[in-house]
Amino acid sequence: MKVKFFTASSLLIATLTSATLINPAHAETTSSTDNHQQTTQSQQQKTPKIDKGNNVKPVEKKERANVILPNNDRHQINDTTLGHYAPVTFVQVQSNEGTFIASGVVVGKDKFLTNKHVVDATHGNPRALKAFPSAVNQNNYPNGGFTGEQITKYPGNADLAIVKFSPNDKNQNIGEVVTPATLSDNADTNQNQPITVTGYPGDKPLATMWESRGKITQIQGEDMHYDLSTTGGNSGSPVFNSRNEVIGIHWGGAANSYNGAVFINKDVQNFLKQNIEDIHFSNSDNNDDNDNNNGTDDNNNNNNNTNDDDNNYDNPDAA
């Protein structure tokens, strides 16, 4: 089967100079029965498998491709079920154009976050999106796979979407096989702070988790820029602060300049709270400023592949 990276050239995200008031009631929601005939219960609960096609490509935006920058501090996460890595999710979308790969993060009992341009590849069919939380590689996904049931897009400019998943064949929800990530209220998130972006880049072996380290260079409205490196397939990756809380959702970058994410500001937080009833936000006032830095203690033994030229599979050009 032909498999591709995600590309969505039509969606432009504005850089906001001030906070934008968003009405969550205007969010666009697509369910599996909206545009497609309802499947049987047994079909809905069939656990998906990773497509191992030789031409898998990531979802990315042509006008805002994921960028390798001078700061290319990426390392593989081998124990993907450990701590804040567990809810990081490998994504595949199967369509008539092929199979596309991306990333996401579980934030509720049955929901995760990714990009609008990732879910756009489903062409309105949530069941085309498959999620594999904590995937280790194409042959090892310890928490199984889940099939999309409903998509809700952020009503503003930010490249953000919520996907609700059907239970697996054991009647488990995606947020029951892994502990959902904690999100930051971002009250104390500022420029120059250390961050990590963790996901499934397309220039590495299929369905392997990688972490990239860097710092924030700019925050403006719902847009956050940083100096670390990412590639196609990282679309939808969570951006973690030094307390391993999600502060943004990665979308791409500008060539030779920066990579960026949807910054989870108050407007985005309100949207998430109204659409994910069990989402958990931290209170920065109660956090210890001396918490460990970027979770590196969680993974000191997982740096066997620090050279970005190692273990690459045949990476096709981004679509």
Q: What is the pLDDT of residues 93-147, one digit of tens each?
A: 998 888 999 999 999 999 999 999 999 999 999 999 999 999 999 999 999 999 9
Within-domain flag for 131 = yes
227-241 mean pLDDT:
96
Within-domain flag for 19 = no
Q: What is the pLDDT of residue 166?
A: 98
Q: What is the pLDDT of residue 13?
A: 33
Has 235 been annotated as catalytic?
yes
Within-domain flag for 18 = no
Within-domain flag for 315 = no
Q: Does the pLDDT value for residue 290 go beyond 80?
A: no
In DSSP terms, 223 is beta-bridged to 220, 262
Q: What is the pLDDT of residue 71?
A: 76
- The closest of 299, 314, 313 to 78, measured between CA atoms, is 299
Within-domain flag for 56 = yes
Within-domain flag for 316 = no
41-59 mean pLDDT:
65
Against a cut of 0.85, is the pTM above it? no
Within-domain flag for 114 = yes
Name the catalytic one among 75, 84, 117, 250: 117
Name the catalytic one among 103, 235, 237, 242: 235
Give the CATH number of the domain where residue 206 resides: 2.40.10.10
User: Looking at the 3D structure of the chain, how many domains does it have?
Assistant: 1
Domain holding 264, by residue range, is 3-8+25-299
Name the catalytic one among 51, 110, 159, 308: 159
Q: What is the pLDDT of residue 256?
A: 76
Has 278 been annotated as catalytic?
no
Q: What is the pLDDT of residue 14?
A: 31
% of residues, the chain, pLDDT over 70: 72
Q: What is the pLDDT of residues 143-176, one digit of tens each?
A: 999 999 999 999 989 999 999 999 999 999 999 9
Within-domain flag for 44 = yes
* Gap between the Cα atoms of 218 and 95, Å rounded: 36
